[in-house]
Amino acid sequence: MTKVGVLVGSLRKESFSLKLAKNVMSLFPEGYEVELVDISNLPFYNQDFDDENNVPSEVVAFRNKIAELDAFLFVTPEYNRSVPAVLKNALDTASRPKTDNRWGKKPAAIISQSPGGLGGFGANHHLRQSLACLNVPLLQQPEAYIGNVATLLGENGEITNESTLEFLTKFVQRFIELIKKY
Ligand SMILES: Cc1cc2nc3c(=O)[nH]c(=O)nc-3n(C[C@H](O)[C@H](O)[C@H](O)COP(=O)(O)O)c2cc1C
């Protein structure tokens, strides 16, 4: 069983990112265990945690969770043309201590979204920049910038737009091809 962790860059109850993530999770075939990874309870990363050997229990639990997963899907909005702090904090938290980067060499894919037309391009590429530093092999194509997201979802958060569903199905297939290489 391949374990895929899904990290959502929004803590909002009605988050479009979360709704999209849930749709995409259901597109994985048998043999994949896909779970949402909670990042809402993480403290802001402080290097003293590690330097003083005083790591909060939430941080220990999160690092262990990331260590046990095989691959990651990031679904995120864009905040001021970049990655929301809550998601960047999660990346930083499991990247340290430097000798024990929990993300390294595990394949990942990014979906960014926006209620506007740009589809979170800035967040998507800033996230790529950090993941390159963390030695994460990333799905390059297709890129997923989901714009005008509110128009693509129904009342219960389901994707109602046929071509978006087709695109995301293809996206997951490509992601699986990448995962199988590692
Ligand atoms: C602090 C903040 C900054 C934002 N900056 C951007 C932005 O740069 N680009 C954009 O398309 N939307 C921006 N938005 C709007 C978000 O895309 C919108 O609130 C979206 O619904 C957030 O994703 P969510 O539904 O998953 O919470 C911003 C929202 C907030 C709260």
| pLDDT tens profile 51-93 | 999 999 999 999 999 999 999 999 999 999 999 999 999 999 9
State the number of CA atoms in the 13 A half-sphere of 167 facing the CB.
Answer: 16
- pTM here is 0.98
Distance 35 CA to ligand 1 centre (A): 24
Q: What is the mean pLDDT of residues 129-146?
A: 98
Longest dimension (CA), the chain: 52
Distance 114 CA to ligand 1 centre (A): 7
Q: What is the pLDDT of residue 58?
A: 98
**74 neighbors 108 (Cβ within 8 angstroms):** yes
Q: What is the pLDDT of residue 51?
A: 97
Q: How many angstroms separate the CA atoms of 143 and 110, rounded?
A: 8
Give every CB contact of residue 131 below 8 A, 6+ residues apart in sequence. 91, 103, 108, 110, 138
13, 79, 111, 121: which to mutate for ligand 1, most atoms within 8 A of CB? 79
> The tokens of 93 are what?
């938290």
Q: What is the pLDDT of residue 94?
A: 98
Which residues have CB under 6 Å of ligand 1? 10, 12, 15-17, 77-81, 114-116, 118, 120
